[in-house]
Amino acid sequence: MMLIDPHAHMTSRATEDYQAMAAAGVVALIEPAFWLGQPRTNVGSYFDYLSGLIGWERFRAGQFGIRHYCTMGLNSKEANNEELADGVMEILPRFALKEGVVAIGEIGYDEQTDLEDKYFRLQLELAKELDLPVMIHTPHRDKKRGTSRSMDVCEEHGVLPSKVVIDHNNEETVDEVLDRGYWAAFSIYPSTKMGNVRMVDILRRYGSERIIVDSACDWGISEPLAVAKTAQLALENGLPEEHVRGACYANALSAYGQSGQMKEEDWLNPPAIDQRTLFEGNSILRGGREPVVVQERSAGSLESLLID
Amino acid sequence: MNPNTLIQSWLDRQLPESAGQWLTEQLARSRSEPSRSNIQILLGLAPRKLGREDLMLRPSDHAAADRARHGWDPTGWTVDQAARIVGLAEHAVTCNDFPQFFTYLCRSADVQEAIALYQGLPLYPQPDQLEPQAGEGLRTNLRSVFEAVAHRSPYPREQFDDNRWNQMVLKALFIDSELAPIQGLDQRANPELARILCDYAHERWAAGRPISPELWRCVGPYADDNALADFERLIDTGTDTERRAAALALSSNPDARVQPLKARVREHVLAVEAGTLSWRSLAGTG
């Protein structure tokens, strides 16, 4: 089964993660601009980070036959540094219209401060102006209220729910997000976000309509094979293949494909120019073989498909 | 015809009417009200509006390109790249700090855009002022960006000093890029480069790794005694392709000391003299 990981911070990952993801069937991923684990002190380092997402990181992914897309945005933590935030808002339009930029994101709230609110709203306006989807990071703390508030603000600014992916959902937030017409993404991230046993339960209860699975893998203890492992676990538990395909591939493509910058033919039939410059193609898939979900890796434990 | 007019005529010929019209309007706007924001919109939207097909060129187009700008070779360009280059080349004429602006654009470019920016180097004004940024282009880890500077362009031959030139040639070998598409290889050969390349060959031999036969092209004309020993080794232990490379390299050196070595690869030297063996045919690029 072809898979998409629509939330993966690959600049923080090692090359062998790309190899393992490609071997497990990941054909495309989306790397949202985010907080690097410590704050940037000036707009110059933010500028270089954004240009790395569309440059070197995309090339790195292409070497393994994985199509790399990204989202551009000012994250909520760094929105609290006003000088930096103003600088980032100035350069965002230059980066948001690059090839393969599929959304403004990840944006939203962290501590739900006034400055976070200010730059969240400014970026929603930018997304509207550029006709791009939005990827929303919901806060770790005071999550339920922060999630509701994020959707309230989107509606206040006239951003359509069908163009907004609400990410990092859990059992407590999913009902409201789906009821209000948004895409509901779940990050399968050990300990702090969702585990994949719980995710399979959600798919069993809700089906796959507007539900998206991602890894959110980054510099923490996280799992770049989270989408692949969740897909396999769901199939082993007897969930219908079309639901697994929807949540682990097709819905992400539909949601972020609204940007016009992400198409299935990008990996099924890449243009010659890309094969010369960016993308090595995926011989595993082109050869028609079923990809292996879990490949031997030199680091980490492979004993279990389960991520708790 | 000047290069900008030529590029526009090729695009007019190839693009669907609506796409061609969009480009014409953008270029007209860029001329009537030149501004950074107008040119950045053109650069950003070109692939979305025009697609990314290969630019289709006839043999006569290549001849016209060379007449318009000596050495200019648009082989391998795509339509969006061509549109970006012509847009920027036009903008550059009225831009009062183009070198700084060019640097800014390169720093904030995606890969396809960076390739276009560097491919256009032979066509921009103030070429000497752009040299430091061209050097940045060579420092990339992306082979396609490196080749946008180095390959099929008269710019490196005209603007780079020996140090930059030598580093470019060495890096091309290092990243498995071909030398044959670099213009001016024979004219810009120099003793320092020959020494650097021989050292590099020794490293490769020591590691048991293959050496591109093209390496010897830049060694031949300046072969000192050490290099002659390397050619001897190449002829004694090399592959057939390496013996051909030795014949080609030694043929570029009129010194009497190379004669005994040439005699040992005589059939290939004769092929060089007959014109049936060249660096281009050796590299498989025609």
User: In this predicted model, what pLDDT tens digit does every residue of B254-264 receive, in sequence order?
Assistant: 999 999 999 99
Given a cut of 70, whether residue B99 has pLDDT beyond it is yes
Does any CB of chain A come closer than 8 Å to the CB of residue B14? no
Provide CATH code, domain A3-276: 3.20.20.140
In this predicted model, which residue has the larger pLDDT, B82 or B286? Answer: B82
Of all residues in chain A, what percent are helix, strand and coil, respectively (each to 5)? 45, 15, 40
Instruction: Give the best residue of B110, B113, B144, B149 to mutate against chain A (max A CB count within 10 A).
Output: B110
Nearest CA-CA distance, residue B117 and chain A, Å = 14
Structure tokens at B109: 């470019």
Selection from A22, A1, A6 nearest residue A240 by Cα: A1
Measure CB to CB from residue A51 to each of B40, B108, B142 and give the nearest one: B108
Kindly list the distances between the CA atom of residue B210 and the CA atoms of A152, B202, B239, in Å, as whole numbers in the listed order.
63, 11, 10
Query: CA-to-CA distance for B169 and B204, rounded, in angstroms?
Result: 16
Given a cut of 50, whether residue A284 has pLDDT beyond it is no
Please enumerate residues of A whose Cβ is less than 8 A from a Cβ of B: 47, 51, 54-56, 58-59, 91, 94-95, 97-100, 260, 271-273, 276-278
Q: Are B193 and B169 in contact (CB under 8 A)?
A: yes
Given a cut of 80, whether residue A293 has pLDDT beyond it is no
Given a cut of 90, whether residue B248 has pLDDT beyond it is yes
Is A95 close to B45, i.e. CB distance below 8 A?
no
Q: Using a CB-CB distance cutoff of 8 angstroms, which residues of chain B are in contact with residue A97?
A: 44-45
Measure CB to CB from residue A56 to each of B40, B112, B141 and give the nearest one: B141
Nearest CA-CA distance, residue B111 and chain A, Å = 5
Mean pLDDT across B179-196: 96
Long-range contacts of A38-47 (CB under 8 A, 24+ apart): A39/A77, A39/A78, A39/A81, A39/A84, A40/A78, A40/A84, A41/A84, A42/A84, A42/A87, A43/A84, A43/A87, A43/A88, A43/A90, A43/A91, A46/A78, A46/A84, A46/A87, A46/A88, A46/A91, A47/A91, A47/B107, A47/B108
Digit-coded pLDDT (tens) for B59-88: 999 999 999 999 999 999 999 999 999 999
Q: Residue A307's pLDDT is what?
A: 79
Q: Residue A281's pLDDT is what?
A: 59
Q: Is A306 helix (H, G, I), strand (E, B) or coil?
A: coil
Given a cut of 80, whether residue A276 has pLDDT beyond it is no
Looking at chain B from residue 210 to 269, which residues have their Cβ under 8 Å from any Cβ of chain A? none
Asked casually if ipTM beats, i.e. exceeds, 0.85, the reply is no
Mean pLDDT across A53-67: 93
Q: Residue A289's pLDDT is what?
A: 43
Is A99 close to B110, i.e. CB distance below 8 A?
yes
Report DSSP letters for A73-115, one per residue.
---TTGGGSHHHHHHHHHHHHHHHTSTTEEEEEEEE-SS--HH
Q: Using a CB-CB distance cutoff of 8 angstroms, which residues of chain B are in contact with residue A54?
A: 110-111
Is A273 close to B54, i.e. CB distance below 8 A?
yes
Q: What's the pLDDT band for B278 if we cut at 50, 70, 90?
A: very high
Domain parsing of chain A, residue ranges: 3-276
Query: CA-to-CA distance for B5 and B10, rounded, in angstroms?
Result: 9
Nearest CA-CA distance, residue B201 and chain A, Å = 27
Domain parsing of chain B, residue ranges: 3-160, 191-283
Mean pLDDT across A145-168: 98
* DSSP H or E stretch at residue A27: strand A26-32
Instruction: Give the best residue of A63, A99, A279 to mutate against chain B (max B CB count within 10 A).
Output: A99
Given a cut of 70, whether residue B286 has pLDDT beyond it is no
Is B144 close to A276, i.e. CB distance below 8 A?
yes
Predicted TM-score (pTM) of this structure: 0.87
Measure CB to CB from residue B142 to each of A59, A91, A273 and give the nearest one: A59
Nearest CA-CA distance, residue A125 and chain B, Å = 19
Q: Using a CB-CB distance cutoff of 8 angstroms, which residues of chain B are in contact with residue A277?
A: 111-112, 115, 142, 144
Instruction: Give the best residue of A130, A273, A280 to mutate against chain B (max B CB count within 10 A).
Output: A273
Query: CA-to-CA distance for A38 and A219, rounded, in angstroms?
Result: 11
Q: Which of B3-12, B36-45, B221-230, B231-240 has the lowest mean pLDDT?
A: B36-45
Q: What's the pLDDT band for B31 if we cut at 50, 70, 90?
A: confident
Mean pLDDT across A257-280: 86
Digit-coded pLDDT (tens) for A109-143: 999 999 999 999 999 999 999 999 999 999 999 99
Contacts A–B by Cβ distance under 8 A:
50
Mean pLDDT score of chain B: 95
Q: Using a CB-CB distance cutoff of 8 angstroms, which residues of chain A are in contact with residue B78?
A: 273
Q: What's the pLDDT band for A301 if we cut at 50, 70, 90?
A: low
Mean pLDDT across A150-154: 98
